[in-house]
Amino acid sequence: MKYPPSFVLVTLLTMATLPVATAQKAPSPYKTRFAVDAPITAGLGTISGLGLYLVSQKDGLNDAQLATLNKNDVPKFDRFSAGYYSTTAQTVGDFIVYPTLLIAPGLLALNGDVRGRYGQVLGLYLQTLAAQNAIFTMTIGTTTRYRPFLYGTEGGSDRNSHISTNSFYAGHTANTAAATFFAAKVYHDFHPGSAAEPFVWTAAALVPAAQAYTRLKAGKHFLSDNIVGYAIGAATGIVVPQLHKTAERTGLSLTPVQGININGYGYSGLAITKRL
């Protein structure tokens, strides 16, 4: 498996859009601090590096081991795709994931409000991809699951490669979902209640679904691998910006409370309230 060069793509995007960051700033729904977020992103990158190292230490299967693989050993839910292989589907999938990593945040720059905070948004995007890739690389680095194409006869030298054991989970699908759902989440946070939101979220959901289909047909991942990758990528794309939401935008507040209940006992704590 070729790992999506997420960090390189985001860096290039950042360099290409530096002049935009000087535009007039719009009110932001997020609160970020370079002194906090930069070390977090760097730490996630370090974890990704460790995961890739663990992947490099894995062993592939020799011909004798490949001969013992049996489709019946695959759970019924996934068995239908055991033996799938398609270089065309793999190429189509590559043409989805790599451009999406640039296009998704790039489309946000077309929006005036987001453009005024584009440097902040790009920082959050980088952290989102870093988080997803940290989870992904550590998972494939510590988990062995044979790719579907190993249960067939095609694949050439890739059949003996250590990357043929990296079926769980689908990284292409996860990175695509992280990018599209991040873009949709940011658009929503800057424009809550916008009439365009249904179309934005629908597009965010369909693109990684198409990516998942190509990875399934290519024989790179089982259906369950794609479902997990989709879920983790989408969750990361939503959760990372949500964790940076300002209190004013989330409508949540914490208030200390104390008093005496009807039984005469004192109490104290925090009251969580949400503005509707």
- Of the pLDDT bands very low, low, confident and very high (cuts 50, 70, 90), residue 22 is very low
Alpha carbons 205 and 180: distance in angstroms, whole number: 7
Reported in sequence order, the residue ranges of 160-265 that DSSP labels E, i.e. its strands, are: 252-260
Residue 256: its pLDDT value, please?
53
Alpha carbons 90 and 216: distance in angstroms, whole number: 9
Residue 253: its pLDDT value, please?
46
State yes or no: pLDDT of 236 exceeds 80: yes
Average pLDDT of the residues in 47-70: 95
What does pTM read for this prediction?
0.82
State yes or no: pLDDT of 105 exceeds 50: yes
Residue 27: its pLDDT value, please?
83
Q: What is the pLDDT of residues 155-201, one digit of tens each?
A: 999 999 999 999 999 999 999 999 999 999 999 999 999 999 999 99
Average pLDDT of the residues in 100-111: 95
Average pLDDT of the residues in 101-117: 94
Q: Which two tokens stand for residue 20?
A: 């935009």
Report strand pairing: 252-260 vs 266-274. antiparallel
Residues with Cβ < 8 Å from 202, sequence gap 6 or more? none
CB 145 within 8 A of CB 168: yes
Residue 214: its pLDDT value, please?
98
Residues with Cβ < 8 Å from 67, sequence gap 6 or more? none
Q: What is the H or E stretch that residue 271 is in?
A: strand 266-274
Residue 246: its pLDDT value, please?
86
Q: Report CA-CA distances (Å) from 94 to 75, 211, 266.
A: 27, 8, 62
